[in-house]
Amino acid sequence: MKICYLDAFSGISGDMLVGALADAGADTAALCGALNALGTGAVYEFEKTKRRGIAATKFHVRCGEQHGHRHLSHILEMIDKAALPERVKRNASAVFKRLGEAEARVHQVPVERVHFHEVGAVDSISDIVGACLGFELLGVERICCSPLNLGSGTVKTEHGVLPVPAPATAALLEGKPVYARGPAVELTTPTGAAIAATLASSFGPLPPMRISATGYGAGGHDFPEHANVLRVIVGEASGAAEATTVSVLEANIDDSSPEVLGFALERLLSAGALDVTLSPVIMKKNRPGTLLRAIVRPEDQETLAGLLFRETSTLGLRIYQAERRVQPRSIVEVQTPHGTVRVKVSGEGSFAPEYEDCRRLALETGVPLKDILAAANFAYLTQNR
Does residue 90 sit in the same domain as residue 232? Answer: yes
pLDDT score for 59: 96
> What whole-number distance in Å separates Cα of residue 354 and Cα of residue 360?
10
Whether residue 254 is found in the same domain as residue 283: yes
Q: At what angle do helices 28-36 and 14-23 cross, to 10 degrees?
A: 140
Q: Which sign does the torsion angle of CA 206, 27, 191, 194 carry?
A: negative
Residues of the chain with pLDDT under 50: 118-119
Return d(Cα 96, Cα 184) in angstroms, integer. 27
What are the residues facing 318 on neighbouring strands? 250
Helix (H) or strand (E) holding 235: strand 229-237
pLDDT for the residue numbered 71: 79
Q: What is the pLDDT of residue 118?
A: 47
How many CB atoms neighbour CB 53 within 10 A?
6
Largest pairwise CA distance in the chain: 79
Q: Are residues 279 and 161 in the same domain?
A: no
Give the ranges where 69-189 is alpha helix by DSSP (H): 72-81, 86-107, 122-137, 167-172
Which of 269, 248, 246, 250 has its CA nearest to residue 324?
246
On whether both 270 and 214 belong to a single domain, the answer is no
Q: Domain total for the chain?
A: 3
Q: Are 237 and 284 in contact (CB under 8 A)?
A: no
Q: Are 202 and 320 contained in the same domain?
A: no
d(CA 154, CA 225): 18
Residues 302 and 365 in one domain: no
146 and 271 within one domain: no
Reduced 3-state DSSP string for 229-283: EEEEEEEEECCCCEEEEEEEEEEEECCCCHHHHHHHHHHHHHCCCCEEEEEEEEC
CATH number at residue 343: 3.10.20.300
CA 108 to centroid of chain Cα atoms:
27
CATH label of the domain that carries residue 259: 3.30.70.1380
Question: Do 245 and 320 form a contact (C-beta atoms < 8 A)?
Answer: no
For residues 114 and 23, membership in a common domain is answered with: yes
Structure letter (DSSP) for residue 152: -
Cβ neighbours, 10 Å, residue 312: 22
Do 113 and 2 contact (CB within 8 A), yes or no?
no
Which domain-ending residue is among 192, 217, 237? Answer: 237
Q: Residue 81: how many CB atoms within 10 A of its CB?
A: 12
Within 10 Å of residue 182's Cβ, how many Cβ atoms? 17
Dihedral over alpha carbons 163, 167, 172, 178 (to 10 degrees) = 20
Q: Which residues face 379 on adjacent strands?
A: none
Q: How far apart are CA 107 and CA 114, in angstroms?
A: 8
Tell me what pLDDT residue 119 has: 46
Residue 270 and residue 219 in one domain? no
Instruction: Check whether residue 250 and residue 302 sit in a common domain.
Output: yes
Residues 90 and 25 in one domain: yes
Q: Is residue 229 within 8 Å of residue 56, measured between CB atoms?
A: yes
> Where in the sequence is the domain holding 338, given as residue range(s)?
329-383
* Residue 276: closest CA among 248, 245, 298: 248
Phi-psi region at 39: left, alpha or beta (left = phi > 0; alpha = psi -120 to 50): left
Residue where a domain stops, chosen among 221, 237, 253: 237
Name the phi and psi angles at 96, rounded to 5. -70, -35
Per-residue pLDDT, 376: 95
Per-residue pLDDT at 285: 87
Whether residue 280 sits in one domain with residue 189: no
* Residue 113 DSSP label: G
Last residue of a domain, one of 207, 237, 267: 237
